[in-house]
Amino acid sequence: MTNPLLAEQGLPRFSEIQPEHIEPALDATLKRNHEELEHILAQSEAPGLTNTINPLEEMHDRLHRTWSPINHLQMVASSDASRDAYNSCLPKLSRYATELAQDERLYNLYKHIAKNLDKTADPDVNSLVEHALRDFRLAGVNLPSEEKLKFQAVMEELSQVQAKFEHNLLDSMAAWTHHETDAEVLSGIPEAVLAAARAGAEEQKLEGWLLRLDQPTYIAVITHADNNELRKDFYTAWVTRASEQGPGDGAFDNSALMEDILRLRHEAATLVGFNNFADYALASRMATSVDEVADFLLHLAEVSKPTAEQEFAELEAWAGRKLDAWDIGYYSEKLRMARFSISDEELRPYFPLPRVMEGLFKILHKLYGINVRELDNIDRWEPAVRYYVLVNNQNEEIGGFFVDLYARPNKRSGAWMDECVLRKQSETGIQAPVAHLVCNFISPANDKPALLSHDEIVTVFHEFGHTLHHLLTRVNYPSISGINGVPWDAVELPSQFMENFAWDPEVVRKMSGHFETGASLPEELLTKLEASRIFQSGLAMVRQVEFSLFDLRIHAEYNPEQGGHIYPILNQVRSRVAVIPTPDFNRFANSFTHVFGGGYAAGYYSYKWAEVLAADAFSAFQEAGLFDQAVAQRFRKTILEVGGSVDIAKAFKAFRGRAPEIEPLLQQAGILHSTTGNPGTGL
């Protein structure tokens, strides 16, 4: 039987992929890549673009085509069998990547190419080679053989432990439910959530409602449930996930894994000559040092904390009592309603998902002249998944993207964009890029469309920004196309830039339409929504600074003799920048997948760093006109199309005409006016 994971063209055949396909497909791909690598290394002619870089890029793309659907299905449709196969593959994948990056023969080929490269011929190739040489060094290519093997073993173990961290979190969430038969206890919870809970109870042959510990249900309860004890129960379960006291009675405790992860990262970093993992991570970032990042974050805290303290004092004064952690979301929503006469549930009927997506696609057309077309006859992993293609004015396909928006028990929480197919150029032409856009909203029920809160709309816009970054690239080398090769602290620029459009009155007006009557959002509500953007913006700012400083410090200050000191450091950070008190039982770090699961390790600050870039970039559109074609095309050409082929600082300057400045972000958040003196310069 043909293994669907070994197809080298077209979209993945998701419905055909079975757990038994996973490991054989990876083994076959790695074997073929090893054979081709030896062929490249054995060539007698001088290394160059045709005989070295192009075939290596083909190898990169081949492995991505095999592994991408495996990784994607593990996040959106996990099963015990697929998880076992996935975990068996992780050491092999890590070993292959490390061996490739530590191969001195290959390193010498790239050095030869760099030495003889025509610097004016193809700037993309220059960037590709520069990135490759840096990555060789970061993998310890010059280490003695024994230390190379040690680095390889560390990276293999790290990949497994990080995966186990995520599996524990998923399992701990699945282990907790709240079964309720008293409708009064559920007072205030939106009907869409209750409809899903009723369906969940019916599936289990239970009376009443079965509420699960997924993200949309948790947010709905903590924000809208009138019953204080119910909010407390959900809050407690959520903030103790994957901890010694969380769902599953500690069976899914991540505490030891977190220590292992920090130890392994530190060991890998020191093996290749860095003082700590934070220094190692920053070697490929826009920020240049731990001190620079810390100063940036502490400056944000300094200018934001007075506003945050004022906001929290106002909230408690309005509530008329001291508030517990599980009260914050509930009373904040009530205060927002009182102050702006606007609530999520009042807005939802005006934002049916089809109308929101239509509005998003119209923005894309107005900015870049690109149309979106849905294709029906596409293989997918879930019936509710949709597939779209981007088409330019010449009716040429630019790329495509899958959209998977609803929460499921076997699906990772949160929202993200992931690469399905990478752009590349080969003898047969251009391979168009394809993306996955994933969210976790409440499924539609009772023949109604899914109705989104405005926060959920912002999330869709955010992930669509990532999607455009992947799809609009003009770089033809997979290793630096789209988001590849983009510094991690700048990769959020296009996504956070797109969020701004979800707040613009003109956009919101045209994007809204009552799901029953079709009426646009009333002007009164539109005005209040716009005004509510800065509601508790100080609290939101210090919360993100808290997470960022915690992440930076646990990696920069790790001492192998003392361990991670994870919660002592978190408590120190909170005492300095946080405003809202945190209960002693809170185990936030145990579910901090952004950091302990991989991706944003020593890089969570990237959200705020890139938000500075995004706010400054958007201010250029505000100055010229929101849909000014010259500005839009310049943003597309200098930011969205270049992938990792251009230094991001130079790319931003090419767009904005200067270095980024922090003031637009502080103005956007309504914080600048509350500070005194110089709010600080740019990045």
Question: What positions carry a catalytic annotation?
Answer: 463
Q: Name the one residue in this structure whose structure tokens are 């560390």.
A: 154
* 147, 131 Cβ separation under 8 angstroms: no
- Alpha-carbon distance of 365 to 357, in angstroms, equals 13
Which helix (H) or strand (E) segment is 199 a member of?
Answer: helix 191-203
Q: Name the one residue in this structure whose structure tokens are 């939802």.
A: 348
Q: Which residues, other chains included, contact 430 with Cβ-Cβ below 8 Å and sequence gap of 6+?
A: 423, 424, 476
Closest CA to 606 of 538, 500, 683: 683
- Alpha-carbon distance of 52 to 49, in angstroms, equals 6
* 354, 360 Cβ separation under 8 angstroms: no
User: Which value, in Å, is the radius of gyration of the alpha carbons in the chain?
Assistant: 25
- How long, in residues, is the chain? 683
Q: Residue 362: count other Cβ atoms within 10 Å of its Cβ.
A: 15
Query: 561 burial class (0-12, 13-18, 19+ CB within 10 angstroms)?
Result: exposed
- Alpha-carbon distance of 299 to 148, in angstroms, equals 40
Closest CA to 136 of 170, 162, 99: 99
- Alpha-carbon distance of 267 to 274, in angstroms, equals 10
Distances, alpha carbon 163 to alpha carbons 170, 254, 381, 605, in Å: 11, 11, 22, 22
* Cβ contacts of 669-672, under 8 Å, gap ≥ 24: 669/304, 669/534, 669/537, 669/538, 669/540, 669/541, 670/307, 670/533, 670/534, 670/537, 671/303, 671/304, 671/307, 671/537, 671/538, 671/541, 672/303
